[in-house]
Structure formats: C-alpha cells, structure tokens
Homo-oligomer: A and B are copies of this chain.
C-alpha cells in the first residue's frame, strides 16, 4: 500500500510507500571504511598544488595559508568566452554556452568535511558562496546562479577533496521557472508565500522537523521525492540567497553542520547532493519566493517510471526518517 502526496512547492505528486516502506536502517549500507589522508600529492586542490588550478578567482586567507579558494572550473560546462544570443536554424533553437563555472575548495585539508569542521570554517564556506554569488550577478547576461555540492560517486563526483560548485546560466532553468510559477499561483490564490506557509505548517505538525536553530529549520518535506530528502529553510522571508546576513550565516553554519552530521553518523556517510535554490538574479525583490537549501542523499536510483513520468517513488516514509534522524547522537 502506498500514498500519493502533493508538493505545494514543486506542484508534483510523489508516491510514498507506507506499508512496504523500507525502514531507515535499511538504507544504512555499511561500506568499507576509506580513510583519507590529510594531503595528497596528486590532488589539484591540496595546498602546494595551486598551480594545477590556474585561474584563482577569490580566496579567503593568505596565499600561503588560505581557508577557502574559488577557482575556474577547467571542465566547466559554461564559459564567458562565447556569445549568448539565440540562434534559430529551421525549428532548432540554440545559443552559445555562455556563463561561468567555478569550483570552491572548501578547506586546505584533503579529508576535512563540513561535519568535522569548526563552525567558523563552515561560516567561511557560506561567506564564499555569498561573495561569489554577488560577483556573478554583476556579469551582464547572467540570469540564474546554481550553488551545489556533489559528495560521493553516486552523487556524480570523482574528486575526493571537499568542494562545492557554482554555475551561472544565461537562461532561467526550467525547474526554477516552474517553481516560481507555482509560488506565484499560490501567492495569488492565498496572499501568502508558499514557503513561509509550508514552514509554519511543518513546525506545527512537528513530526518531520529534525533540527531547529534561531534562524533556520531543517525538515523532511511532506512530499519528499526521495528517501531522506532534507529542506533547510531560513525563517526570515527573503527570495534571494545573497540577502543572507552575517547572523544568519553563523546560525546556518551550525544548522547545516548538524544536519550533515546526522546523515553522516545515522547513514554511514551517504553520497549526497546539496543545492541552494534562490530566485533568479533579476527578480531578487519579489515577495512570493523564498530561498532554501535541499540536501538529497543518493540512496536509490531513479528508473524507467521516474524518467517516463516525472513522478517519483519515495521508498521511505518522511515521518519515520525524520524520527530516525532526530535520534541520531552527534
């Protein structure tokens, strides 16, 4: 037996297994412990190898003792050295791959993950996100900026040294556009921000909330599309990630670190993607959107049904997974 649940944010129905749902512990695949060294001679992101990442864009800290570095992604999908006008050839519409792609090296140590960092070090990563975000908005032709992190091979990364990525796109991506439309529709119907309303109701229901700080709330959304999908919402209503202030950065560092620790200890360091969802650059003043963070552990593989319908099957009950994460001792 199962249940379909509707996400007010994505406008999509998700199939959530209830009776046959896997128990949270079933997702714990104890893996071979891979102990990483603090430094690897062949790692382009380790200190001493800075020449392997030409095009340092920004740095927190000194050249010889940096804390976080942002560098051009040499294999980036988009680059500034191209036109961004549309080109129509018959029915075939294209444009140059204009944009930027940066890699943010999160820490000098090869094996230092957010879960183990000092709070101030996590703050520095978020500060770097903000700094680079604002810088990218100043590029003529940039419409949207995606901040994301791939942890582990199931999440699409091959480099061990902890890093995040940022890509600025010359168009508003379809998922961003579609969520904006859903939010506008909800706002027009009710006069409320759908995200503020969701947060209010999740706090009232309590059962899917996993961790609260002064300024952020982490919860498993009612209609989460995959097992252990976590949303991290700022309590303050603001559409635009770069409007985050320093108090919020300090608070988010604690919240994010705690949530990632719960995944790390509860599910034995699962592969995951993290992404920051923000309004497109030119609509930053809007009142109907609300930025937030999605953390998506890669515990299952979307298959033909998902690809053919766009509907997801979540084989874990969000309420059970939330209870499990609340209990994880860190």
B-binding residues in A (CB < 8 A): 1-6, 8, 10-13, 15-18, 20, 75, 77-79, 81-82, 90-97, 144, 146-150, 153-157, 165, 167, 169-171, 173-176, 178, 197-198, 201, 204-205, 222, 273-277, 294, 296, 300-305, 307-311, 313
Contact = CB atoms under 8 A, between A and B. Distances in A.
Contact of A97 (B4, B82, B97): B4
B303 A2 contact: no
Contacts of A146: 304-305, 308-309
Contacts of A20: 75
A296 B307 CA distance: 9
Interface majority SS on A: helix, strand, loop or mixed? Answer: mixed
B8 A91 contact: yes
Contacts of A167: 305, 309
B1 A82 contact: yes
A203 B20 CA distance: 47
A151 to B, nearest CB: 9
Nearest to A304: B148
A308 B78 CA distance: 16
28 contacts: A1-B79, A1-B82, A1-B96, A3-B96, A4-B97, A6-B93, A6-B94, A12-B174, A16-B97, A18-B97, A20-B75, A77-B305, A92-B201, A92-B222, A146-B304, A155-B301, A155-B303, A156-B301, A156-B302, A156-B303, A169-B309, A174-B310, A175-B308, A176-B309, A273-B303, A273-B307, A294-B308, A296-B307
Nearest to A79: B1
A16 B11 CA distance: 28
Nearest to A315: B77
Given A275-B307, A301-B154, A308-B146, A173 B13 contact: yes
A165 B4 contact: no
Contact of A201 (B90, B301, B304): B90
Given A3-B96, A5-B93, 19 more contacts: A1-B96, A2-B97, A3-B95, A5-B92, A15-B77, A20-B75, A77-B313, A146-B308, A148-B303, A150-B303, A154-B301, A167-B309, A174-B311, A176-B310, A178-B178, A273-B304, A273-B308, A275-B304, A294-B308
A64 B5 CA distance: 42
B307 A15 contact: no
Contacts of A307: 148, 273, 275, 294, 296
Contact of A171 (B4, B171, B201, B304): B4
